[in-house]
Amino acid sequence: MENKNLTQKSIDTVRVLSADAVQKANSGHPGTPMALAPLGHLLWSEVMHYSPQNPGWANRDRFVLSCGHACMLQYCYLYLTGYNVTLSDIENFRQLHSITAGHPEYGLTPGIEVTTGPLGQGFANGVGMAIAQQYMAKRYNQPDFNIFDYKIYAICSDGDIMEGVSAEAASLAGHLGLGNMIYFYDSNHITIEGNTDLAFDEDVSRRFEAYGWHVQNVPDINDLEALSIAIRNAQKETGRPSLIKVRSHIGYGSPNKHDSASAHGSPLGKEEVRLVKENFGFDPEKSFIVPHDVLDFYREAGRKSSENEDEWDTLFERYKKKYPDLAEEYESISSGKLPQGWEEKMPVFEQGEEMATRKASGKTLNAIAEYLPQLIGGSADLSPSTNTVLEAYPSFSAANRDGRNFHFGIREHAMGAVLNGMALSNYLIPYGATFLIFSDYMRPPLRLAAIMKIRQIMVFTHDSIGLGEDGTTHQPVEQLIGLRTVPNMTVIRPADANETVHAWRVAIEHKEGPVAIALTRQEIPVIDQKKYTNAKNLEKGAYILSDSEGEPDMILIASGSEVHLILKAQEELKKNKIDARVVSMPSWNLFDQQADAYKEKVLPKKIRKRLAVEAGSTVGWMKYTTDDGDVIGIDKFGESAPGEEIMKEYGFSIENIVQRAVALFSKNI
């Protein structure tokens, strides 16, 4: 190898490793890691505070690779600085059961803060991480005790900047003055189809200045001094998020693919990789070579960074002595524990009144908020309709970091991704709210929350055609089944006010994956807790709400506002000498997790005459009704009319349920 200074050799080692890994996998994105290696070098050797031996250290800086396709950059630095990532893992990039997947995956690879890949999501996740840091700092930091002062560093690409979710999130970040964010915009002018001028020629710097960001420009990413100065300037900003635009050259060092789209999403090719190695002074006959002095340099950088954790541990021990109550609260929250007896603060609603489940949800939130300081959230400009305001607390804002009410604006997509970032703090239980129909705007972050198995809670109100006059555009039909099909997502549609209370209990106690609670706009009866089975059984997903006197002739199943209809239908069927069991089924997901014996108890195989009733798509219900059963649902769009009228028009009436039940009972099976 030719004589080079250690810094340049270190940077070029990452470039060659990236090219080797993608080539061996015969799949991946070599060009961007090769271009970004100088930035990665500065971040991991000089800038960020992290602890390879303890990737979850509370006060570490968070790094987000929003352009997740460039993940080999991150994998290389995790390996080099001493995380539990080996050279063998680098060699097994994109292979079955490898911890170095084709895009970064939270929970799979030590040091990965968030799953990224769908462009723009990581950008918005970082906003949530920044909010979490500001909230925790305001609550726990004290004079001379900066327990939480970490920053969020992120790299985003031209593609990230093009995605609408990044625009939503950038606007929110600027409005909130999140000065703990330092983002690097890698402007390499290349996407899969070619040069970005095919579809993109805006002045990104001016756009972000308009959002209220501090913006700098580094014309050459290889100018480490200019890059360092820009980072130091950004670190001084406390009232504005920072964007550092860096000009890079995709496939840097590749003689024939430098600055070309062919370096973006495909291996360079064996011969081109040889030329890259020759260009950087590496032996073209050898692969996955890390010079000893390079490895020693980065391992020492990792060790020095770990000293920040040692200093923090000492600081926190002093903090515990001076502020024992705050320290105890923080340690409890960070361990995932809930205060003993918190659930006893939940309200109980009496039979005889009618109440929309969205209203019951709001009452529940306000009853428990005092005991759960980690519970924070808001809505996408719909809090008066979703009932998600914590009445005793202020709003989170640029001037008030201890506010617990969030105004996400009309930005459902960003709201979902920001909530993911907040949840990834591992301290907070964040919730967001909008109408169920607008869950379509936020499917990508909901899916990513499910992939990461992180807990964010979504309150989706106006859950059916029962919302009424707003008509087809606002009336959900296919949304419930769409959400139910997402692995690791728990969907709960409570039947009344008391089931809503327990939906919140389940959501807060839930450990893995997002929870969606679907709630009514219209008022519905509160089910008599003394006459029927206690709503606490919601935790099992489905339960016998009201049983027949003897063995049932048939089973009526419903969720949400339709449960009170099948209770009335049960009484009417008795007049027809038909004994029906009534099953409330607020959550398919929770029911499917129960033991077979319990599921058999609720839905015995021998009772095949089953009628399900739900104001949504009928898809999926046959799993519970069997082919011999029937479903009253909606497989077309609604229309504008008062809620009560349209529900009746679409078959959600006691009369129609009884008629369909009688027909099913009379059917020979």
Strands (E), 88-187: 152-157, 181-187
For the chain, the average pLDDT equals 97
pLDDT digits (tens, 9 = 90+) for 553-565: 999 999 999 999 9
Per residue in 431-442, pLDDT (tens digit) is 999 999 999 999
CA-to-CA distance for 337 and 553, rounded, in angstroms?
Answer: 45
Residue 469 catalytic? no
159 annotated to a ligand binding site: yes
463 is in an annotated binding site: no
Q: What is the pLDDT of residues 581-637, one digit of tens each?
A: 999 999 999 999 999 999 999 999 999 999 999 999 999 999 999 989 999 999 999
Encoded amino acid at 339, one letter: P
Of the candidates 163, 168, 309, 412, the residue annotated as catalytic is 412
CA 307 to CA 304: how far, in whole Å?
5
Contacts of 307 (CB under 8 A, 6+ apart): none
The reply, when asked if residue 592 is annotated as ligand binding, is no
Contact 458, 437 (CB under 8 A): no
Q: Is 462 marked as binding a ligand?
A: yes
* HEC readout, 77-92: HHHHHCCCCCHHHHHC
Secondary structure (DSSP) of 215-284: EEEES-TT-HHHHHHHHHHHHH-SSS-EEEEEE--TTTT-TTTTTSGGGTSS---HHHHHHHHHHHT--T
* Residue 126: its H or E element: helix 121-140
Q: Rounded to an integer, what distance in angstroms lies between the CA atom of residue 35 and that of residue 30?
A: 9
Q: State how far the Cα of 376 lies from the Cα of 197, in Å rounded to an integer.
A: 42
Per-residue pLDDT band for 2 (boundaries 50, 70, 90) equals very low
Q: What is the pLDDT of residue 36?
A: 98
pLDDT of residue 352: 83
Give the pLDDT confidence of 21-70 residue by residue, as tens digits.
Answer: 999 999 999 999 999 999 999 999 999 999 999 999 999 999 999 999 99
Within 8 A by CB and 6+ apart from 506, the residues are 490, 492, 515, 538, 539, 590
Locate tokens 């999403």: which residue? Answer: 265
- Average pLDDT estimate for 314-320: 98
521 is in an annotated binding site: yes
Give pLDDT tens digits for 318-376.
999 999 999 999 999 999 999 999 999 999 999 888 999 999 999 999 999 999 999 99
Q: Can you tell me which residue has the tokens 């470039």?
A: 15
CA atoms of 81 and 294, how far apart (whole Å): 10
Residues 209-220: tens digit of each pLDDT: 999 999 999 999
- The pTM assigned to this predicted structure is 0.97
Burial 363-380 (b: 16+ CB within 10 A, else e): bbbbebbebbbbbbbbbb
Residue 470, marked binder:
yes
Band of pLDDT at residue 420, cut at 50, 70 and 90: very high
**Is 50 exceeded by the pLDDT of residue 149?**
yes
Where do we find the tokens 């014309």? 219
Measured over the CA atoms of residue 467, residue 439, residue 132 and residue 171, the dihedral's sign is negative
> What is the percent of the chain with per-residue pLDDT over 90, rounded to a whole number?
98
Q: 564 and 524 in contact (C-beta within 8 Å)?
A: yes
- Scored b (16 or more CB within 10 A) or e, 50-60 reads bbbeebebbbb
**Residue 29 assigned as binding residue:** yes
* Residue 668, pLDDT score: 78
The pLDDT value recorded for residue 4 is 62
Scan for tokens 């996408």, then name that residue: 380
Statement: residue 527 has pLDDT above 50: yes
pLDDT tens by residue, 477-492: 999 999 999 999 999 9
Does 117 appear as a known binding residue? Answer: yes
Q: Tally the residues of the chain.
A: 669
Of 268, 284, 227, 246, residue with least CA distance to 46: 227
Q: What pLDDT sits at residue 427? A: 93
CB 504 within 8 A of CB 361: yes
List the end-to-end C-alpha distance of the chain, in Å, as a whole number: 81
For residue 669, pLDDT beyond 80: no
Q: Is 385 one of the annotated binding-site residues?
A: yes
* Torsion sign, CA atoms 40, 46, 47, 52: positive
Task: Answer yes or no: is 358 a known binding residue.
Answer: yes
Reported as a pLDDT band with limits 50, 70 and 90, residue 1 is very low
pLDDT digits (tens, 9 = 90+) for 187-227: 999 999 999 999 999 999 999 999 999 999 999 999 999 99
Rounded-to-integer distance, Cα 158 and Cα 143, Å: 41
158 annotated as a binding-site residue = yes
